[in-house]
Chain A
């Protein structure tokens, strides 16, 4: 269902014509980009047609007499998928409407609204219902969402394909297929929809950053010029960067590793990067903060009271619930970091696992990073899609360290021979922390900063 008080966003939803004939529905996902189902625009040759006609009706939303906007739109190269049944077109003329907000988060049994131009009323009507399944098998491009219409059988939905499936004001999917009776009406009200995350992930693979989840949040742009100076850890950084810039459905980065494997360096460097991008950060290191109270004081100190409220006099357990409510109303990108998780007190562990994790979909702006020799079990999360679990190992690749040295000490001539020498002299067994210490000694020697006569 739409959010109470919000109008159906008709100005951002278009009736699609192919060769002058009404074929389906599409909606804006960026100021001039529209997505629809692939099968809506599939030509006789099995390929997507290159040009379609669009008709937007802003008056249906604003009721102020605005004229309809008609424009052609051209298929974006490589931005379509037969497998996931979507295709993206660029409008020749801007429809002057807000793109719909996309979200990767959706739960079963939530009510939805799907405005489109099905045969029931080609002038535009909405079907409503609930999300019956998040994991419906599909011959290609599955799994997909299974939807149950409130109106059950007999609704003429041909022409509604490609319509947005809106939950709480955000698009979670686009309509794909319906079970139809011999008259073209819905049979049992069963419909399938392509999760919008397939569209976002697929498009961002081709053109990183082209689409964002929760675009009502002003996400920062990635900036490789200020990327962290760490050896290797490319996958971790790539995923982290996508999370804090709104490009990934993943929300939790778990960094697990033994002593000396560079967890805290990673935390510090990633924190600095996020800070430079303007992300608000709450951080606590459980090495020194051993009770839930001091951890929350640390969060508050680092993020400020706007983000993490102060406890009221006498407020105890309810405070920690209130923090989540408060965070849910925060609208800027936010990063919550906990380091040294193995030292987590029970009450903090419970707060994270039983309160914070299950409510992540209330906080689309939030990324959580937890590091430690142990990390929390993501039992209360859809671990496969929401969690990135990284297990830090040794870094035995010479080029990774050479690259690191060149960035860390750009004017010091540390060469391959030095790095190889250290790695192989240690039988490739140095932890990253020890490797860094030895390279730091080498650079001190090479730059003449080493004191003399100090050997044991």
Chain B
């Protein structure tokens, strides 16, 4: 009892101190320091640069995700990987040759793949497929876009005359833009028409200008709007960007 009491006596002042006004200010300054010096740098999502042996997991019938506990994460899929990824001779991966594609330096796709690394813990235990994998790829792509900005919000709702529009990324840089992320080939279907109408309305109202950004699908290798969607984007004067 005496021992517990002594500990309590030792902890109480410390707790009070950590919650004091001065303590909070120190924390805030430290956070600002971190934000100023680290957030503007490309993120490596917490993986060490030191290469190690790879481990992998098959996440679809013809898709494997390999990682080597470094920033290298490999999405290997028959016949497509080399189209988007530059082979890295220094890779120490143990994956089979055909699955041994390394991430290219600084490419957008590489950034995308790095973000997939954040999901590898889940992938190790629960192989993703179908719709679940679809969501992971979509989310990580949007996260990669958001990471380009010192500060940005994800999945931001805007009210429109036709209903709610949820923007994938809204940078907090005063630019008044939002980014709609699309992975793979995107066609002008019923849902896309609704999104376009709402984005057009938001721009016309001066609320926010949405830019559509297209990223290659790691599964099919396809990217961009179809011809019909491209024409619609141009007609509505909605800016777009196609990553290769």
Q: Do A and B bind each other?
A: no
Residues of B within 8 A of A (CB): none
Residues of A within 8 A of B (CB): none
